[in-house]
Structure 1
Amino acid sequence: MRILVVEDERRLARAIGHGLEDHGFAVELAHDGDTGLWLAREQEFDAIVLDLMLPGLPGYEVCKRLRAEGCWTPILILTARDSDDAEARGLDLGADDFLRKPFSYQVLIARLNALLRRGAPARPAKLLVDDLELDPARRTVRRGTASIELTRREFSLLEYLMRNIGQTRSKAEILDHVWGADFDREPNVVEVYVGYLRRKIDQPFGTDTIQTIRGHGYLVGSDG
């Protein structure tokens, strides 16, 4: 079994690596989020041990990007934070389990073995609004029999709106979920990208999937 350990504290990373190797695992180490993300994209791993507080990309963002790209390798998050909010956020972004520092190697091994027995999580179901279909696993969008090419950001925006069908989402909510809480550009970027989406998924087909709810935000489907 191959494990990717993404941990910026080098002594701890080496210790985790040696401990896992002593239990028969093959281990690859990364000490920042960018390297961890690259390795997870380029190589096959059976599980990922991911610290949250990383230089470069934080662990939250690494997890979010991997799941958005269709990587369903089990992820065990490590954090020094004693916070239910941190745990909930990590799990919401697609992590499979959570382990607070300090921890014993016995518990780490037990958690990893449990994840490996469980296997990769099931791929998410396709999302449908009328004849518009979005497949989160394959990262594809279709309108009827027509394939629609979207950029990564356009896809994430459409997926967020389709997952919240019938619910109006504000620009602030969209920015937080699609661009990330640390995004510092003007909220009008949401309006720009909604325009991009409409030109691809609606205008060529004479449809009106994304509605503007003035003063509130955007809506896919009916609000009842």
Structure 2
Amino acid sequence: MPWTRREDPARGTRRAVRIHIVEDDYAVRDSLTELVSSLGFSVRAYADGESLIRSGPPSSADVVFVDLGLPGIPGQEVIAWLRRLDAPPRVVAISGRSIVDIEKMLEDLPGLPLLRKPLEAESIVAHL
């Protein structure tokens, strides 16, 4: 699919977009992986932020969905790390928490797209 490829300005090349899913809930992580894979994207899924960080930084052409309620390193810290990269990927936060909790978590991360659980396929696709 031609829309699964994007320019990677950090490398000056055109490459396949990889989608990274950082979600501790297995059912949500598995469902997202299945949906995104069915659309022709390469997917890497992680149960926590530490796993994503250990795997190395995503490309600037990639998209990373990060649950805010991760165990270990909180989702907002993972997002802050991603935003500090020299060539950051696109990041989308996901959460099932109350809007008050979410606003507190994201107060230092302005302009971040947020998807509320339960997630809708159309919302996910809109951010790819």
Asked if Structure 1 and Structure 2 have the same fold, meaning a TM-score greater than 0.5 normalized by the shorter chain, the answer is yes
More strand by share: 2
Shift of 1:105: 1.1
In structure 1, how many angstroms separate the alpha carbons of the residues matched to 2:113 and 2:56? 17
Match of 1:11 among 18, 21, 27: 27
Within the alignment, does 1:96 sit opposite 2:112 as a pair? yes
Specify whether residues 109 and 3 from structure 1 end up closer, same or farther in structure 2 by C-alpha distance, changes over 3 A only.
same
Q: Which amino acid aligns with 1:70?
A: D
Structure with larger RCO (C-alpha < 8 A, sep 6+): 2
Change (3 A) 1:95 1:14: farther
Compare CA radii of gyration and give the structure with the larger one.
1
CA contact (8 A) 1:67 1:94 kept: no
1:152 aligned residue: none
Which residue of 1 is the match for residue 76 of structure 2?
60
Separation in 1, partners of 2:72, 2:111: 19
Percent of pairs identical after alignment? Answer: 29
SS of 1:15's equivalent in the other structure is helix
Given that residues 87 and 98 in structure 1 are in contact (C-alpha distance below 8 angstroms), is that contact kept between their aligned partners in structure 2? Answer: no
Q: Which amino acid aligns with 2:31?
A: A
In the TM superposition, residue 97 of structure 1 has moved relative to its aligned partner by 0.6
Normalising to structure 2: TM-score of the pair? 0.75
Post-superposition offset of 1:2? 0.7
TM-score when scaled to structure 1?
0.45
**Other structure's SS at 2:119 match:** coil
Q: What residue in structure 2 maps to residue 35 of structure 1?
A: 51
- Structure 2 letter corresponding to 1:26: S
Higher helix share: 1
User: Aligned residue pairs: how many?
Assistant: 111
CA RMSD after TM alignment: 2.1
Segments of structure 1 that go 5 or more residues without pairing to the other structure are: 114-224
Amino acid in the other structure paired with 1:7: E
Runs (4 or more) in structure 1 with deviation over 4 Å come to: none
